[in-house]
A and B are shown apart, each in its own frame.
Chain A
């Protein structure tokens, strides 16, 4: 294979440096209308009335859409993974986050489109909003979602992602001490330099050509087809040129609404978010609340972990149950802990729905798991490298969800870092490998806990 290991030019490199790369906003289609959105001014409110007639009547306006124009208003983007639909494409009876789209206008120019949006008459009655995931479980908490304040549709209609392994009670009994920590990473904006943008073109044969900045072309195609209730072959998605996504452009945020405007107006339509919309209304990486309590021995073995995760999904589910699931499988980090009690909840709040970003679900728990290891080392007065190496995954160790490790690289990685930093380690640590545990690296609590790689 000539390509592997070779230094190859980017196939799009010359286009990038000569300004020839065509992003969605660079596509030029004659007769294209500008789209603008009416967005919820409130965090949580009932919609008392919505009157778009003044916008529709405005000169230069060719289409206005509301929830009534959407053939299938709610579609479960991950229904294939068992996550049912909960989010309307455009708000119907209520709004659950500030910035939620309620109506869209397509007009001859940007100024007219904005004036039309401003002319839409919207009456809302605000209700109490919930922003703190910790309060979601209080009996007097505002009710955010039709299913309650947390997702109840995990397998077997469980209301949490649960992992039980071994006996956490025994681990806590046998521990020399329990070490606790709470970790709360905040929401993060993706801030791609290219904002959300979409251009839809009606073709003479009745199909729609959709220029999209999505990171997930086929996925978005399926979402649009489902909302529009058309077969896939009615849509032609053009994309793959994304001005930065980082997980924030998998939400199919613009394509469906833009398509509806095109169908209604008969004209090409472009919707380009302003930077303000991008900051205020686009989905973020989720905030998390994680509580860890580890049962540890004074020489640094982690016997068991009790963990509670509250994942802030924002106002709707989107991909959060999936993100939490991945999170749960990795809640021990790169380390082997045989006794586990993990409970994770997808919690709804009145914030912009959250989404993937660089390591969806796992980045948060890696941060917590690693910080907690350092905390344990500090509290026990142990070397932070040694405590990690001891508990590091080896061949034959098992993950929280029972997968047997066949080729973990934790030990050599930590040793390489120690080497790079000039961190001194005792001889028996320096010669450690990923091989199946035995001798001093097979503590009593792991005897009988190892799996067989050949069985998988």
Chain B
């Protein structure tokens, strides 16, 4: 069985009924999708399958032979964040960070599918994702900002104190 994960083709050794979530986390060591409930209820395991958001905990890997999988690591790196990742960071849309992988991928897919700034349609797109920390408002703000083109990619976000450099903390290492 083969999967392409973040652009890299991988041979899969896990047994056919193994959920994709476990294949990613345990066999391939890709730990960004999380095991929040393992019953499809929380959305923290969501990855992109052929660009579409799906619950990795519900997909037996045998049904995915040849599929193209994207996880959060494949969306952007600290050196080159995608717009949606930048938006989440700028808008404090992640607190503990545990739901973030699923949220960002669902939001990314929403934007790629032409999703706009209308709050209700953003909510509908993220309806399957539970966050217990933020109260959702900042997450919706982030997606709205990204949909409105208010962020750019390839930009490491800097603090908005008007300074070029990050804020100086006395005594901290340079």
- CB of A283, distance to nearest CB on chain B (Å): 16
Residue of B34, B76, B78, B104 near A193 (CB, 8 A) is: B34
Q: Contact at A193–B132, with CB atoms within 8 Å?
A: yes
A16 touches B100 (CB 8 A): yes
Q: Known: A13-B94, A192-B132. Contact between A20 and B78, CB under 8 A? A: yes
Q: Mark B130-143, 1 if CB is under 8 A from A, else 0.
A: 11110000000000
**Chain A positions within 8 Å of B113 at CB level:** none
Q: Say yes or no for A191: interface residue by CB 8 A criterion.
A: yes
Q: Does A194 contact B (CB under 8 A)?
A: yes
CB–CB A15/B29 < 8 A: no
Q: Which of A39-47, A240-248, A314-322, A366-374 contacts its partner?
A: A240-248
Interface check A10, CB cutoff 8 A: yes
When the two chains form the complex, which single residue of B44, B89, B130, B159 contacts A17, counting CB atoms closer than 8 Å?
A: B89
- By a beta-carbon cutoff of 8 Å, the part of chain B in contact with chain A is 25, 29, 31-32, 34-39, 41-42, 44, 71-73, 75-78, 81, 85-86, 88-89, 92, 94, 96-101, 104, 130-133, 156-161, 166-169
Neighbour of B44 across the interface among A7, A10, A193, A272, CB < 8 A: A193
What 4 A-B pairs are tightest by C-beta distance, nearest first?
A19-B32, A243-B98, A16-B97, A19-B72
Contacts of A195 in B (CB 8 A): 36
Instruction: For A12, list chain B residues within 8 Å (CB).
Output: 97
Return chain A residues, CB-CB under 8 Å to B168: 2
* A2 and B78 contact, CB distance less than 8 A: no
Q: Which parts of A1-17 form the interface with B (CB within 8 Å)?
A: 2-3, 6-10, 12-17
A445 interface contact, C-beta 8 A:
no
A12 to B73, CA, bound (A): 15
Residue of A nearest to B30 (CB): A19
A19 touches B167 (CB 8 A): no
- Nearest-neighbour CB distance to chain B for A247, whole angstroms, equals 12
Known: A17-B85, A244-B132. A6 touches B35 (CB 8 A): no
Q: Which residue in A3, A14, A17 is a CB contact (below 8 Å) of B104? A: A17
Taking CB as reference atom, which chain A residue is nearest B41? A275
User: Given A19-B32, A25-B35, A192-B132 in contact, is the A10-B96 Cβ separation under 8 Å?
Assistant: no
Contact A9/B101 with A14-B89, A18-B76 known, Cβ cut-off 8 Å: no
Of A6, A18, A25, A26, the contact of B161 (CB 8 Å cutoff): A6
Is B35 touching A272 in the complex (CB atoms < 8 A)?
Answer: yes
Q: Which of A25-56 contact B (CB under 8 A)?
A: 25-26, 28
Interface string of A187-200 (1 = CB under 8 A from B): 00011111100000
**Across the interface, do B97 and A21 meet the contact criterion of CB distance under 8 Å?**
yes
Complexed CA–CA distance, A9 and B158 (Å) = 7
CB-CB under 8 A from A22, the residues of chain B are: 31
Contact, CB under 8 Å: A193 / B131:
yes
Using Cβ atoms and an 8 Å threshold, which residues of chain A touch B98? Answer: 23, 192-194, 243-244
In the complex, chain A residues 72-117 whose Cβ is within 8 Å of any chain B Cβ: none
Q: Does A177 contact B (CB under 8 A)?
A: no
Of all chain B residues, the one with the shortest Cβ separation from A192 is B132
Among A18, A21, A190, A244, residue most surrounded by chain B Cβ atoms (within 10 Å): A18
Identity of the chain A residue whose Cβ is nearest the Cβ of B35 in the assembled complex:
A25
- Do A2 and B100 touch (CB < 8 A)? no
Instruction: Given A2-B161, A9-B157, A28-B29, verify A23-B34 contact (CB < 8 Å).
Output: yes
With contacts A19-B71, A193-B34, A193-B98 taken as known, whether A10 is within 8 angstroms of B89 at the C-beta atoms is yes
A275 touches B97 (CB 8 A): no
A13 touches B89 (CB 8 A): yes
Write out the residue numbers on chain A whose beta carbons fall within 8 Å of the beta carbon of B73. Answer: 18-20
Chain A to chain B contacts (Cβ below 8 Å), 29 pairs? A6-B161, A6-B167, A7-B161, A10-B94, A14-B89, A14-B157, A15-B78, A15-B97, A16-B89, A17-B85, A17-B86, A19-B32, A19-B72, A19-B73, A19-B100, A19-B101, A20-B78, A21-B97, A23-B34, A26-B25, A193-B34, A193-B131, A193-B132, A194-B98, A195-B36, A243-B97, A244-B132, A244-B133, A275-B39
Asked if A229 is an interface residue, CB under 8 A from chain B, the answer is no
Q: Which residues of B contact A10 (CB under 8 A)?
A: 89, 92, 94
Q: Which residue of B lies closest to A3 (CB)?
A: B167
A17 and B167 form a contact (CB under 8 A): no
A274 at the interface (CB under 8 A from B): yes
A13 adjacent to B29 (CB under 8 Å)? no
Q: B157–A193 contact, CB under 8 A?
A: no
User: A residues within 8 A CB of B34?
Assistant: 23, 25, 193-194, 243
User: In the complex, how many angstroms separate the beta carbon of A114 from the nearest chain B beta carbon?
Assistant: 14
Query: Which of B36, B78, B88 is within 8 Å of A275, CB to CB?
Result: B36
A8 & B38 in contact (Cβ 8 Å cutoff): no
Residues of B within 8 A of A25 (CB): 31, 34-35
- Chain A residues, CB < 8 A from B99: 193
Q: Which of A9, A14, A191, A275 contacts B132 (CB 8 A)?
A: A191
Knowing A14-B89, A26-B31, A193-B130 are in contact, say whether A3-B169 is a contact too (CB < 8 A): yes
Residues on B with C-beta less than 8 A from A244 are 96, 98, 132-133
| Contact status of A6 and B78, CB under 8 A, knowing A17-B100, A18-B72, A246-B132 | no
